[in-house]
């Protein structure tokens, strides 16, 4: 599976650790930046990762900013993106099972790197449950039309 990843200055250390972790697990990681800890505007990175999903280069994406919230707001403006800002294990798992989320957004100033890696593992390892959730996710897409 190919996974796109990106961050701003609020999530740089987390992004480096997540990228290394996913590489060690055998995933192909497409790093959309930033590549050094400089101040940037998170929407610029959110769009880069989101477009890797919508152009089908990658199946899933990970975005890290200070809170995870700005990244999720920006990514969710891209048609076809379902980005979820998560800080706990239950949400990271169920946003895949029930929402078919395709981007996980994390807060580098909210959770530690250890928790972030656990949430990433849950996110990438959990499939969409389908069934009754298909229609609900379709209704989200309908809002974009």
Q: Is 133 a catalytic residue?
A: no
Pairing verdict, β 28-31 and 83-85: unpaired
**Smallest separation (angstroms) from ligand RB5 to the CB of 37:** 12
**Smallest separation (angstroms) from ligand RB5 to the CB of 65:** 3
- 8 is a site residue for ligand RB5 (CB under 6 A): yes
**Smallest separation (angstroms) from ligand RB5 to the CB of 142:** 27
- 69 is a site residue for ligand RB5 (CB under 6 A): yes
- Identify the residue among 10, 27, 50, 52 touching ligand RB5 (CB under 6 A): 10
Return contacts of 14-17, CB within 8 angstroms, 24+ apart.
Answer: 14/64, 14/106, 14/108, 14/113, 14/116, 15/62, 15/64, 15/108, 17/113, 17/116, 17/117
- Binding region for ligand RB5 (CB under 6 A) out of 14-22, 64-72, 119-127, 131-139: 64-72
* H or E element that contains 47: helix 42-54
- Identify the residue among 22, 27, 67, 76 touching ligand RB5 (CB under 6 A): 67
DSSP 126: P
33 in the Ramachandran plot: left (φ > 0), alpha (ψ -120 to 50) or beta?
left
**Residues classed as catalytic:** 65, 98
Q: Binding residues for ligand RB5, per CB under 6 A?
A: 8, 10, 42, 65-67, 69-70
């Amino acid at each position: 599976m190919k996974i796109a990843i990106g961050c701003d200055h609020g999530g740089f250390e987390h992004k480096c650790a997540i990228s290394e972790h996913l590489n060690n697990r055998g995933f192909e990681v497409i790093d959309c930046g930033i590549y050094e800890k400089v101040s940037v505007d998170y929407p610029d990175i959110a769009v880069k990762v989101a477009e890797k999903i919508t152009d089908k280069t990658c199946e899933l994406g990970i975005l890290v900013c200070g809170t995870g919230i700005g990244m999720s707001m920006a990514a969710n403006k891209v048609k076809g993106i379902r980005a979820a800002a998560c800080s706990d294990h239950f949400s990271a798992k169920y946003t895949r099972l029930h929402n078919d989320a395709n981007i996980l957004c994390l807060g580098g100033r909210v959770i530690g790197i250890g928790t972030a890696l656990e949430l990433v593992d849950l996110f990438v390892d959990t499939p969409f449950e389908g069934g009754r959730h298909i229609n609900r996710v379709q209704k989200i897409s309908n809002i974009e039309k």
